[in-house]
Amino acid sequence: MMADLILLLLVSIFIPLFPMSMVFNAIVDKITNCWIRILIFSIWPLTGLMILHFSSIRLPDWLTYLALGTSMLYALRILTLREVNQWTGFLATSLWSLLWLAVIENTSASLLYGYAISMSIPLVMLLQLSAGLEKRYGAAYTGLYGGLARSIPRFAGVLVTVVVAAIATPFFPTFFIMLDLVVATVSSAPLVAIMLLLIWLLWSWAGARLIQGLIVGRASEVDIDDLNTSTVSIFSLLLLVLAIYGIYLSGVIL
Amino acid sequence: MEQLIIVVAVLPLLSALLIRLFATRLERGVARISVVITTLSFLLSVVLLGWSFTGDVPHILSLGNQISVLLFDPLSILLTAIILGISLIVHLYSVRYMAEEAGYGQFFVLLDLMTATLLFMVLAGDLITLVIAWYLVGVLLYFLLGQDTRSQTAYRFAFWTLITYRIGDIPLILAAALLYNAYDTWSLTIIFNEIMANPNAHMVLGMPLTQVVAALIGFAAFARSAQFLLHTWLPYTMDGPTPVSALMHAGIVNAGGFLINRFAPVFIHSGDVLNGIFVVGLITAIFGSLLMLTQNDIKKALGYSTMGQMGFMIMECGIGAFSLAIYHMFAHGVFKGTMFLSAGSVINNARQDDGIPKDELYTFAVEKQANKARQPWLLMAAITLAVPLVILVFAHLLIEQNYFQKQGAVVLLFFGWVTGAQLIFATYRMRTQNIWRLVGLSVLSLVVVVLGYVFISHAFDLYLYPDPEFRKQLYSAASINILRFDILVAITALIIVSGWIVTYYAEQHGYRRRQHTKRLWLNFYALISREFYVSDIYTRLTRILLGLSARLNVWLRWL
């Protein structure tokens, strides 16, 4: 019983559950190196899933509601965040905490890893773009400079698409994962399904605020380097692969 | 032949892809690709529409697996042609209109993607395709409305649209999930067949599944078609490019009517929900028209006019006149699209010369100077009340003998009668040389409008719902207890006729108002000018939510 609780506390750092979710965000806040941050985002939920996979914790019934509460809390909190790295960390917390629901629904291990990876890829891309903004403007902050669509249109285009992918828009995998979770819960626990949809709505709201705070406005008077075409191609290719995986996932899970 | 519909739907996607690939090389020439492909797609859709008259429909076309299915039926093929027709006009208009704007290529990419998404929405034969298309329409509209990336206002109101659309996605996704759980398939055709065979086979939260799903679909339609309380985005999205406004008001906003029609087999078993839909549509029609009349900005007035029309369209669904809603959608789309696309040049011309002839109509409608000479009021009242009724009854009897057994038909007749009577009532006091000529012309125009409306809507009825039993079921589902219905009609008629009498006597004794009545009118005007405080309330709620979010962040030390 005690061992189960300790293990659960440990896993809830990696597959976030409030208040252990604060550990992840504190780490993200402290790390300034972009590549280390990207590495953490890539392995964080996978570590949690692996611990869960190799242990045999009995998951309590209330876990669904704690996971939903965590996701809802962070989705609500992103609305007023302006620092892009922090924004990405909170969105990651909100997204990854929903992995608990998939675990409770007995989703296969391979699919769970697929869910975690496909949730993390747009976040990792966003961290890269955030580093790009820091390099160009000294800070990745919404509402501070704006006008990216006019100043650096290629960068803005990639940024918008990555944000759209991160907030569960068709045809990216998170959209189908959310749909699957709603389908799995709507008949047995309609309240859970409604909460999931509200969380999804908050993501869209937060995404729109982030986009508006960065891309809208007049062009900068200073010349700023845009992304080169090869970098844009790499981002586009990654997003295309992600969308194809989303379509594939829809065939598997729906 | 029906396989062509896949080509029709995919062509705009191809256009978007080609523009994306060749945007830098072709510069302004990208518009040619878009226009040519949209024209081709439109022509193919017209050919398919013609072919569908042979009656060899519906067909189900799979795109590879069971969750990517297109449905080729009268509703989808008719709407495909309408969407492509409106899209083509918007494309042609945009070629020059958007030429000076930044992001010319991107605009056409978004326009083509929107066209393709709308096509997949109306052609969806499964719930997944429908949900994806429904969702994407909101996202694409957000970016189309925010085409001018310098304008914070454009994005602010584009966001209102996005969030309302996302709210509307919630009930549709819930409905899709419930239907999938109950019938273990995403296929709309299979689900509808099972519902028709056994409507009460499944229950949710102690209620029949059909009723719950119908209510959810109704909510989704309300958000998309700007029904009262979910309407604020519509009149405020005028900062977007004019072609986008035209596309939105002529096409996208009609999606609610389409959705209700698509789920007609569910609504047949959900009479109470249809009654609720009627009430929401009625309230929207009244509030939209009221707000339209008080606007001094032409584009905002058009926005509220669309809201009123959408209310009327949803109301038509609520009385079981599903095909009439589609006809309304088509007629309103053409009419409103034209108005939006010509609004700019009208404003421009009016700045040089208003072009309004200072004739009898101007004196009457603008200067509010009625004719002092009166005709015998009893005779005029009889003409006002009787003539529209005779025309309407005659026109409807021409197409169906037992028409008056349908309550929905009576409601429509009632509205037609009120509108017709209002027309004659409003015109017979105009200053004119020959009042009888004027009344005669009003009656003639009413005859033309009523006959056209009745015959065309009947044709839509036969095309969209060829099964007479199904049509009868739709009207029966929307019916209420006959005594209640008669009482409601009598009360409404009494209120309207009393209003006319009050107006008549007020005109006879001048417009002198007592102090307290004046104050009441002033308060009422203030209420309307603030648009019933709906957007103010939403703004306040938004601030509360954002305040809560910020406070949580501070309390939890941003971790």
d(CA B512, CA B505): 11
pLDDT at res. B410: 77
Q: What is the DSSP annotation of B275-286?
A: HHHHHHHHHHHH
**Residue B57 scores a pLDDT above 80:** no
pLDDT in tens, A151-177: 999 999 999 999 999 999 999 999 999
pLDDT band at A125 (very low <50, low <70, confident <90, very high): very high
Q: Report whether B12 contacts B112 (CB < 8 A).
A: yes
Backbone angles phi, psi at A86, to 5 degrees: -65, -40
d(CA A246, CA A241): 8
Smallest CA–CA distance, residue A2 to chain B, in Å, is: 27
Residue B170 to residue A73, Cβ atoms within 8 A: no
- Total residue length of chain A: 254
d(CA B540, CA B520): 26
pLDDT band at B367 (very low <50, low <70, confident <90, very high): low
Number of C-beta neighbours around residue B508 at 10 A: 9
Among the ranges B34-38, B361-365, B400-404, B409-413, which has the highest mean pLDDT value? Answer: B34-38
In the DSSP assignment, the letter for residue A228 is P
Strand, helix or coil at B430? coil
pLDDT in tens, A3-14: 888 999 999 999
pLDDT band at B377 (very low <50, low <70, confident <90, very high): low
Give the residue from B44, B35, B75, B83 showing the smallest Cα distance to B58. B75
pLDDT at res. B510: 63
What tokens were used for A99? 């992995």
Three-state SS string over B266-315 comes to HHCCCHHHHHHHHHHHHHHHHHHHHHHHCCCCHHHHHHHHHHHHHHHHHH
Mean of pLDDT values over B286-297: 89
pTM of the model: 0.93
Q: Is A251 at the interface with chain B, CB within 8 A?
A: yes
Give the residue from B138, B129, B202 showing the smallest Cα distance to B169. B138
**Percent of chain B, pLDDT > 90?**
53
Q: What is the mean pLDDT of chain B?
A: 87
Window 166-195 of A: residues touching B by CB (8 A cutoff) are 169-171, 175, 179, 182-183, 186-187, 190, 193-194
- Total residue length of chain B: 559
Give the residue from A72, A249, A92 showing the smallest Cα distance to A176. A249
Contacts of B559 in chain A (CB under 8 A): 22, 25-26, 29
Number of C-beta neighbours around residue B21 at 10 A: 11
**Residue A220 scores a pLDDT above 70:** yes
ipTM rounded to 2 decimals: 0.96
Q: Report whether A248 contacts A177 (CB < 8 A).
A: no
Q: Is A198 at the interface with chain B, CB within 8 A?
A: yes
Residue in B146, B151, B173 nearest the CB of A182: B173
**Residue B420 scores a pLDDT above 90:** no
Q: Is A241 at the interface with chain B, CB within 8 A?
A: no
CB pairs under 8 A between A and B: 114
Q: Are strands B203-204 and B207-208 parallel, antiparallel or unpaired?
A: antiparallel
Smallest CA–CA distance, residue B151 to chain A, in Å, is: 6
Q: What is the DSSP annotation of B15-47?
A: HHHHHHHHHHHHGGGHHHHHHHHHHHHHHHHHH
Write the CB contacts of B244 (distance below 8 Å, at least 6 apart in sequence): B141, B144, B145, B147
State the sign of the Cα–Cα–Cα–Cα dihedral B257, B259, B265, B267.
Answer: negative
Q: Report whether B57 contacts B176 (CB < 8 A).
A: no
Q: Is B17 at the interface with chain A, CB within 8 A?
A: no
Stretch (H or E) spanning B204: strand B203-204
Q: Is A229 at the interface with chain B, CB within 8 A?
A: no
pLDDT at res. B445: 82
Backbone angles phi, psi at B488, to 5 degrees: -60, -45
pLDDT band at B69 (very low <50, low <70, confident <90, very high): confident
Write the CB contacts of B395 (distance below 8 Å, at least 6 apart in sequence): B450, B451, B454
Residue of B nearest to A149 (CA): B149
d(CA A10, CA A55): 12
∠ CA B309-B310-B312 to the nearest 5 degrees?
65
pLDDT in tens, B330-359: 999 998 888 888 877 877 787 777 766 666
Stretch (H or E) spanning A126: helix A109-137
In the DSSP assignment, the letter for residue B126 is B
Write the CB contacts of A39 (distance below 8 Å, at least 6 apart in sequence): none
Residue B67 to residue A197, Cβ atoms within 8 A: no
pLDDT at res. B146: 93
